[in-house]
Each structure stands twice: as structure tokens, then as C-alpha cells.
């Protein structure tokens, strides 16, 4: 055999470099490396909780912390503006990465002024503020600038908002409003704010205390359901403002639903409402609650991330909590409403009108849980593919994995899922697909071999490809040459690693962070050439 015939610039095994810019990924394959700004967006949207199949959460966290260090030194303004953008758009299912990044930026002299000025935009609730306080102490002390920024979080807000935060989000992460006020020493500018601070710090109820705090104090002293229900109606109390015995009373929840339960709280309390008998198959509050769950405007105002809607749907449909918090019999109308909420949470997505092949990596590494949620990377990828299937009239979806070692047989077949299925049913189909090695070139190779006409390849993957005899970007180039179609490749990254199969120098390739709520729109816009 002529060994020189094994060397090619057009076809390179994925375990070898096809380009000097490539680096070794965690699986032993070679992939391209994201720049720091792209890595920051992945970290902010995907998080690092639970790590990945190949990397522990600590290793992944340290790797992403290095990105923050470099950006804080090279582009502090860009670092803070990206944190604010991801947080305020509701692009991520969890706020922890944004709060951590903001806390780190607040510890770097060049970035601190902008980071502290952005605190109210990123830490929008008391819980967020407590999380920020816990993170920031990992990097710095309580200097004048930090105390001033935390004090302004209270003094610059309307009194109604301060009162709401004081009684709804009382403590977390070992912090309370009392702790922060004692550290920050803000000066109240009005009698109402002064009395609110006095109540938080000393528990004294002055004559100028806001009505919401007055209602909270009365609710804590009450002992029966009729009184709690009356106070909810009179003062507009939320469930977090009531003592524990109150939230087990159906009459209290009737009153809460009459006043209006915010969207996030409504999704979280569905199991409790079901167990209390308020969401029967017929009658009760079922129709009203189902309509609220799927209301696009309520989803937008509540900043409901699609992944959170997906987790809520799967948990509720299962009839049991992953945390062992009891069981319930799901109500069909509520399950259907949560299905609708998942799709509606993405907003209106315009179809690209291109011939699209959606390819979900179902290899072994995609079976790892992600972002600290009861969700695997392959399940999240399949759910995102469902949104694109619902959007694109000329789209089809496949799942792919490599069998055996490098160069072994390939496994690629239709996913067999449809937006007309319930989400939990569709994800069970994906879960049943066999695992294998990762070969992200398979979708392009499949399309060429079958002579499929594809304008846009969308690959949902963790980018840990290693098992193929040709790199994905080379396979795309082969497909373009063979068909004459200027096909595009969109890589939807499902983990916060630094790897991507997309060649950053190719304008026909795009890498996006999978949990960003704007991903379906980004896909269609890029496919249309916008």
C-alpha cells in the first residue's frame, strides 16, 4: 500500500488536524476553537452545572472563568454589555452564570464601574441580589463602590418595588435584605423608604410603611384560611408572602389565582394546584390556568425561557418530581398548555424557506445532563429541532452517531418526531435511539450519498467529534462541490466548551449557543442570508 495515498488536504481523520487552527477536544478529536466572546455567550446561556460527559463541572467552570479573566483585561466594556444583553433578553434559562460573571467583572478595576452600574439590570430580584452578593465575596471585599451600588439598588427603585422585594424574596444563599442594608448603609430619601428600611432591619412597623408590608405582617399573624384568602385579595399578596400552612389551603389558592399568579410561579405550582383539586379534568380553574400558561404575552412579560417551559412540561407530565416532592395525576389540558408554552416562548419565528436538514447528535456524550436540569443534551437538542420542524415547511430531522471505532459503520436515521406529538412523548423517542461515537460529518456525508438537496444543515451537538474519517467542514466542502449547492452549516452548541465544528473563516458556517431563546430566529435569518 502506498502510504502517501493516506495524506490528503480534502479528507482528514477527525483525530488529526485538518487545519493548523484546530485544537484537540476532550474526546481526542480535532475541532476549531471559539473566540472568547463566543465562549462567553455559551457560558452565559448554557452554564456549567453538572459539567459535560468528558469534563467535570469544576474543570468546565475554571475553563470559563479564564475567559472572564481575559475579557475583563482586554474588553471590559464588551464583557459587561454581553452580560447585560444575555440577562435582559431572557436568553438563558438560569441567571447564575450572568450574576457570577457580573460579580467577577465587579472585582476588576477596569470593569468594575460598568459592572456595578449594571447591577439593577442583571440582579432584578432580591434572589438575584443575594446570589450576586454571595459570588462577589469570592473575588473582592465590600469597598465603597460596591456598598454604593448595592445601596442604590434599594434607593433608586420605586418604593412599591422595594416593598415587593422585601416580602417576596426574603433570604437566600445565606443573605437577607437586613444583611445587605447593614453593609451598604443607604440613606432613604422618603419617609416610606425610611420606614421600609426600619422594618427590614429592626422589624418595626412605622406609619409610612407600604401597604404590602402591612398585609404581609397581618398574614404572618393569621391562622386560618378565610383570613389568609381575604388578605390576599385585600393586599395583593403572593404565595411567597404567606406562612407555610396557608399554601396548603385550596381557598387560599383560589384567592391567589383571582389576584393573579405570575407566570414563573404558576408553572412551578402546577403540581400543588393539581393535588389540591383546583385543576380537574373538567371544571375548576383548569381552563383559566391553561389559557394563562400558553399566553405569549404573559410568557414574554415573565421572561419565561423555553427550556424552563420544557422542564416544566416534562416534570408535570411525569406526575412526579425529580426531587421527591410528591406525586400527582397530570391534567391533560395543562400538559397540552405547557406544550404550547414551549413553542410560544420562542416568540414568532419566520420560516427561512430553505431546504433544511436538522441533525441531532445522539452519541454517548450527548446523554449527559446539562445546566443542572433534569434534561440531557440530546433531549434539549431534540426539543430545539422540534421548534425548527414546526417552523420550516421543507425541513426533515435525523439522529446520528458512529458505530464502533474510527471508520466504523454509521448510524443515521429519521428522528421520527413531530411537533404534533406531546413534548414528553417526542423526547422518549429520541431517548430510545442507540448511543454511539460522535461523528458530526455524518449529516453532510448522508446528504451527498443520498443525493439530497439541502440548503441548510443544522447540527445540534456538543462538538466532541472524533470518530469519522473526514472532518465536518471537509464533508460540507465535498457536498458543495458535488451538488453545486452553496449549502450552509449552523452548529448549535449544547455545552459550554471551547470547541466547534464550524470553520470560523467560512462565511457559510455559524456557531450559536443552544439555550439562547433566539436560536430558532438566528437559524432562519442566517439561512436566508440576513
Cell numbers at residue 104, please?
467577577
Over residues 303-340, the pLDDT tens digits come to 999 999 999 999 999 999 877 668 999 999 999 999 99
Do 336 and 375 lie in one domain? The reply is: no
Burial class (CB in 10 A: 0-12, 13-18, 19+), 202: exposed
Q: Is residue 103 part of a domain?
A: yes
Q: What is the DSSP string of 492-520?
A: EE-S--SEESS-TT-TTEEEEETT-TTHH
pLDDT, one tens digit per residue, over 13-26 is: 999 999 999 999 99
* Residue-level pLDDT at 2: 67
11 lies in some domain: no
Residue 516's pLDDT is 87
Same domain, 386 and 318: no
Q: Does 218 fall in a domain?
A: no
Q: Which of 181, 212, 243 is the last residue of a domain?
A: 212
Residue 138: inside a domain: yes
Identify whether residues 394 and 447 lie together within a single domain: yes
Closest by CA position to 386, among listed 320, 307, 454, 289: 307
For the chain, give the number of residues.
Answer: 530
Query: In whole angstroms, what is the distance from residue 413 CA to residue 235 CA?
Result: 57
CATH, residue 472: 3.40.50.410
Residues 97 and 154 reside in one and the same domain:
yes
Give the domain range for residue 292: 262-348
Look at residues 348, 364, 388 and tell me which one is the last residue of a structural domain. Answer: 348
233 located within any domain: no
- What pLDDT score was predicted for residue 63? 94
Q: Are 279 and 270 in contact (CB under 8 A)?
A: yes
The pLDDT assigned to 321 comes to: 81
Low-confidence ranges of the chain (pLDDT < 70): 1-9, 324-325, 404-410
Instruction: Verify that 344 and 354 share a domain, yes or no.
Output: no
Domain end: 348, 377, 411, which one? 348
Q: Are residues 330 and 386 in the same domain?
A: no
- For residues 341 and 371, membership in a common domain is answered with no
Are 50 and 103 members of one domain?
yes
Residues 6+ apart with CB under 8 A from 227: none
Whether the model pTM is above 0.85: yes
Residue 486 pLDDT: 97
Total domain count for the chain?
3
Q: What is the pLDDT of residue 156?
A: 97
Q: Supply φ then ψ for residue 515, to 5 degrees.
A: -90, 0
- Please choose, from the candidates 206, 230, 202, 201, the residue with its C-alpha nearest in 3D space to the C-alpha of residue 218: 230
Domain assignment present for 476: yes
* Same domain for 404 and 283: no
Q: What is the C-alpha to C-alpha distance for residues 291 and 437, in angstroms, rounded to an integer?
A: 43
In a domain, 373, yes or no: yes
> Does residue 47 sit in the same domain as residue 104?
yes
Q: What is the pLDDT of residue 51?
A: 85
pLDDT of 3 reads 60
Residues 510 and 422 in one domain: yes
Rounded to the nearest 10°, the torsion over CA 424, 425, 430, 431 is: 70
Please check whether residue 7 lies inside any domain of the structure. Answer: no
Q: Which residues of 272-285 are buried (b: 16+ CB within 10 A; e: fewer)?
A: bbbebebbeeeebb
To the nearest 10°, report the CA torsion of 163, 168, 172, 177. Answer: 10
User: What pLDDT is attached to residue 409?
Assistant: 57
**pLDDT tens-digit profile of 270-307?**
999 999 999 999 999 999 999 999 999 999 999 999 99
What is the structure's pLDDT at 514? 86
Closest alpha carbon to 175 in 210, 208, 142, 198: 142
Does one domain contain both 405 and 447? yes
Amino acid at each position: 500500500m502506498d502510504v502517501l495515498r493516506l495524506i490528503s488536504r480534502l479528507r482528514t481523520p477527525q483525530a488529526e488536524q485538518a487545519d493548523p487552527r484546530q485544537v484537540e477536544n476532550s474526546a481526542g478529536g480535532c475541532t476549531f476553537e471559539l473566540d472568547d466572546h463566543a465562549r462567553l455567550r455559551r457560558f452565559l446561556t448554557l452554564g456549567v452545572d453538572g459539567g459535560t460527559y468528558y469534563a467535570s463541572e469544576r474543570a468546565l467552570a475554571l475553563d470559563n472563568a479564564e475567559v472572564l479573566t481575559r475579557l475583563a483585561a482586554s474588553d471590559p466594556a464588551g464583557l459587561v454589555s454581553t452580560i447585560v444583553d444575555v440577562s435582559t433578553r431572557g436568553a438563558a434559562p438560569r441567571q447564575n452564570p450572568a450574576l457570577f460573571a457580573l460579580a467577577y467583572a465587579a472585582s476588576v478595576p477596569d470593569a468594575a464601574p460598568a459592572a456595578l452600574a449594571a447591577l439593577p439590570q442583571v440582579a432584578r430580584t432580591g434572589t438575584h441580589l443575594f446570589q450576586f452578593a454571595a459570588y462577589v465575596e469570592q473575588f473582592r471585599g465590600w469597598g465603597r463602590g460596591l456598598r454604593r451600588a448595592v445601596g442604590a439598588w434599594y434607593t433608586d427603585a420605586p418604593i412599591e418595588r422595594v416593598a415587593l422585594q422585601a416580602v417576596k424574596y426574603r433570604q437566600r444563599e445565606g443573605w437577607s435584605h437586613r444583611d445587605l442594608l447593614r453593609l451598604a448603609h443607604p440613606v432613604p430619601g422618603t419617609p416610606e423608604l425610611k420606614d421600609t428600611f426600619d422594618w427590614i432591619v429592626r422589624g418595626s412597623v412605622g406609619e409610612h410603611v407600604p401597604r404590602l408590608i402591612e398585609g404581609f405582617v397581618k398574614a404572618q399573624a393569621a391562622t386560618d384560611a378565610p383570613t389568609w384568602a381575604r388578605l390576599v385579595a385585600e393586599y395583593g399578596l403572593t404565595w411567597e408572602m404567606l406562612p407555610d400552612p396557608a399554601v396548603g389551603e385550596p381557598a387560599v389558592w383560589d384567592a391567589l389565582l383571582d389576584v393573579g399568579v405570575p407566570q414563573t410561579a404558576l408553572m412551578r405550582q402546577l403540581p400543588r394546584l393539581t393535588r389540591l383539586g383546583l385543576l380537574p379534568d373538567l371544571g375548576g380553574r383548569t381552563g383559566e390556568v391553561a389559557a394563562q400558561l400558553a399566553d405569549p404575552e404573559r410568557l414574554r412579560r415573565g421572561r419565561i425561557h423555553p427550556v424552563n417551559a420544557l422542564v416544566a412540561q416534562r416534570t408535570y407530565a411525569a406526575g412526579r418530581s425529580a426531587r421527591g416532592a410528591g406525586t400527582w395525576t397530570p391534567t391533560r389540558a395543562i400538559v397540552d398548555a405547557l406544550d404550547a408554552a414551549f413553542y410560544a416562548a420562542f416568540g414568532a419565528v419566520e420560516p427561512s424557506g430553505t431546504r433544511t436538514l436538522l441533525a441531532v447528535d445522539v452519541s454517548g456524550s450527548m446523554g449527559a445532563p446539562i445546566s443542572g436540569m433534569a434534561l440531557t443534551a440530546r433531549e434539549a437538542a431534540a426539543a430545539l429541532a422540534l421548534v425548527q420542524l414546526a417552523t420550516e415547511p421543507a425541513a426533515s430531522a435525523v439522529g446520528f452517531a458512529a458505530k464502533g471505532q474510527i471508520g466504523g459503520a454509521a448510524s443515521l436515521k429519521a428522528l421520527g418526531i413531530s411537533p404534533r406529538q406531546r413534548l414528553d412523548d417526542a423526547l422518549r423517542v429520541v431517548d430510545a435511539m442507540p448511543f454511539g461515537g460522535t461523528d458530526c460529518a455524518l449529516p453532510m456525508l448522508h446528504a451527498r450519498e443520498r443525493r439530497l438537496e439541502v440548503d441548510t444543515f443544522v447540527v445540534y451537538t456538543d462538538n466532541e467529534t472524533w470518530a469519522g474519517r473526514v472532518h465536518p467542514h471537509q464533508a460540507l466542502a465535498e457536498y458543495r462541490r458535488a451538488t453545486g449547492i452553496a449549502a450552509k452549516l449552523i452548529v448549535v452548541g449544547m455545552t459550554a466548551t471551547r470547541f466547534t465544528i464550524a470553520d470560523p473563516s467560512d462565511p457559510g458556517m455559524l456557531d450559536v449557543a443552544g439555550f439562547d431563546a433566539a436560536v430558532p430566529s438566528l437559524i432562519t435569518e442566517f439561512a436566508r442570508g440576513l
